[in-house]
Amino acid sequence: MTEIVKASLENGVQKIRITADKGYHPAHIQLQKGIPAEITFHRVTPSNCYKEILFEEEGILEPIAQDEEKVIRFTPQDLGEHEFSCGMKMQKGSYTVVEKTRKSLSLLQRFWITSIFTVPLVILMIGMSTGGISHQVMRWGTFLATTPIMLVAGVPYIRSAWASFKKHNSNMDTLVALGTLVAYFYSLVALFAGLPVYFESAAFIFFFVLMGAVFEEKMRKNTSQAVEKLLDLQAKTAEVLREDNYVQVPLEQVKVGDLIRVRPGEKIAVDGVVVEGISSIDESMVTGESLPVDKTVGDTVIGSTINNSGTLVFRAEKVGSETVLAQIVDFVKKAQTSRAPIQDLTDKISGIFVPAVVILGIVTFWVWFVLLRDSVVVLGASFVSSLLYGVAVLIIACPCALGLATPTALMVGTGRSAKMGVLLKNGTVLQEIQKVQTIVFDKTGTLTEGKPVVTDIIGDEVEVLGLAASLEEASQHPLAEAIVKRASEAGLEFQTVENFQALHGKGVSGQIAGKQVLLGNAKMLDGMSISSIYQEKLEELEKEAKTVVFLAVDNEIKGLLALQDIPKENAKLAIGQLKKRDLKTVMLTGDNAGVARAIADQIGIEEVIAGVLPEEKAHEIHKLQATGKVAFVGDGINDAPALSVADVGIAMGAGTDIAIESADLVLTTNNLLGVVRAFDMSKKTFNRILLNLFWAFIYNVVGIPIAAGVFSGIGLVLNPELAGLAMAFSSVSVLISSLLLNFSKID
């Protein structure tokens, strides 16, 4: 019979540990649907079989070295039995997904219930200190207020602690559960024995720990919908040739070899090859090219790109999961599911800190009750007093401040960052950004404006620009829009055009004031001679990677217009600031090398990687990661895979939804200086976390010896009640420290 092992639920996450040793053990695990799962693999066998962990259905393939632990994270959604295996699929395990066994209170619900019952505790404590409430009312009042808190807030921590204990592990939940249980049950006995009670200590521990957990959950709420948004970009139907007629069919019915017709303004359904027609296609979502690409018979087209002008008929070559968009979806999905959050610093120390505190509490009781009981020096204590020393140690060591140290700083840091136009989508980016050595930028729309502008006019400016704009006024081409905009800004009047013609791939022509006017590329010249001056200017402009168009009147060249996508206003300053912080800057773009290099030279970027497709962008990021941590800044759909695989993904706020969803960090103001502020704010927030952890530990370092009675000989003691107050004060000091982050200077 197959052993079925249920994952334990810890703070809303299903956790289970598996040892990769001569096959997976246990052979079968059970997970609940819709609840995040963390499966920790520990590889102990040197076999090649265990080099990778594969959850094929979830798109997860993670390498694992010998003696390494690898945490696989996903949220099970599909009921029934599923397989996981090593990368070679020679050893397999399975997991069953079942419906949630019971409806449990959410973290936020537990926090609010705890908060409600904490209020009367505060009132009772104030009343007791002012003499308005009797000692007896205080004792029974704290019992009645704390008991619901133990039931609502305490049970999940107790379950987590018990599950860890059974596996011979410990975590911070262990200390929370132990400290509160000891305080509660001791107080319960003391309530009927007439001894001092410390119910409120247990209640306040849960209040502060849950507060920290709520802050953390709020940070995790921005879960990515990137894959869904990408899939929404697909055309839903296609006009396919069926029995000599073109009919609309659902996208999933399109097969390889189908002839598909696409009209102007429509999305191209799948990847294919043009068999009829001429048009220009906006491929910026995939390639990053700022200008439309001319397509004719024999050229390839990409699914989900937009047909601008003419009608095309193309043959479907790749459908379903084989299309470029589907591959982008796959890249994003794998990158997001395989990226594991950095383990919190408090978790790293829990394996040592927790058992040490427990042992210390037991030793404290034993020393006072056994070792010093018969001492000639009057140090020995009664059973009750000895127990109080041990309980005080456990209470003051309870990690409330530790639990607040990270999430409170993150909340304040992310809040202030948002005011500066830097939106941090998760806390792990703060830890990752400290290690970034290389920052990679997309070009179009990120470093540049994303639209061409007229940069140079050679010849009589009024004549050249006026005639060009008159011809282009009716055109929707991006170059035409740039020319018309420049003429409008100059206040030029547009002239009437007769016999207008658009010559695909060449330019436009028409009659203006009885003269034949041509505007276009070199293909339009048709034997016209170019003067040495114009030729010289042409070569000069082309070296600058500018797009040059000719203006001819009655077969005589009258001038040139140069257009280019220009850098953003603050791009050069931002690059300079990043270099001052010892960061290497790289441009990664789908545009051609000449254009990319020209822009890079203008703003000071050293390295250029040009002409890359979306999946290649992700590959290039992986190559750069071989030498250190990499941040990537992008704005387009084509940037989504790179944003997902980079150690830190940064999206421009004016970019596409998919780019924003794939990123860790969003620049809401679309200002590149936000990248600099993001690095600076992240560093300050991370340093504040370290300071908070320092303060939290100081209380433990100072308080534990006092609570243990080390200084009782000089009258310095810390009973459980005072220990609880000291614990609460440490939490307050951490909160104040985090709030002071609002006043840190940021350039």
* Residues recognised as catalytic: 442
Contact of 334 with 61, CB cutoff 8 Å? yes
d(CA 350, CA 431): 19
CA distances from 517 to 88, 172, 459, 525 (A): 67, 79, 15, 11
- Which tokens in the block code for residue 147? 């008991």
Strand partners, 250: 237
Report how far apart, in Å, the C-alpha atoms of 511 and of each of 262, 500, 677 are.
32, 7, 54
Tokens of 100: 């949630």
Q: How far is CA 598 from CA 158, 283, 443, 588, 590, in A?
A: 63, 22, 11, 13, 14
* Phi, psi (rounded to 5 degrees) for 544: -85, 10
Contact residues for 386 (Cβ-Cβ < 8 A; gap 6+): 364, 365, 368, 369
> Which residue blocks in 73-134 are alpha helix, DSSP H?
107-130
Strand 547-553 with 4-6, pairing: unpaired
**HSE of 447, CA atoms in CB hemisphere, 13 A:** 30
- DSSP secondary structure string, 534-602? HHHHHHHHHHTT-EEEEEEETTEEEEEEEEEEEEPTTHHHHHHHHHHTT-EEEEE-SS-HHHHHHHHHH
Residue 257: what are its φ and ψ, rounded to 5°?
Answer: 100, -15
Beta strands (DSSP E) in 394-524 are 422-424, 436-441, 448-459, 498-503, 507-512, 515-520
161/153 Cα distance (integer angstroms): 13
For residue 622, the 8-state DSSP code is H
Q: Give dist(CA 443, CA 581) in Å, integer.
A: 21
Cα–Cα distances in Å, from 582 out to 66, 314, 486, 633, 674?
Answer: 35, 50, 39, 17, 17
Cα–Cα distance for residue pair 75/139, rounded to 1 Å: 45
Residue type, 104: S
DSSP 5-19: EEPEEETTEEEEEEE
In one-letter notation, the amino acid at residue 423 is L
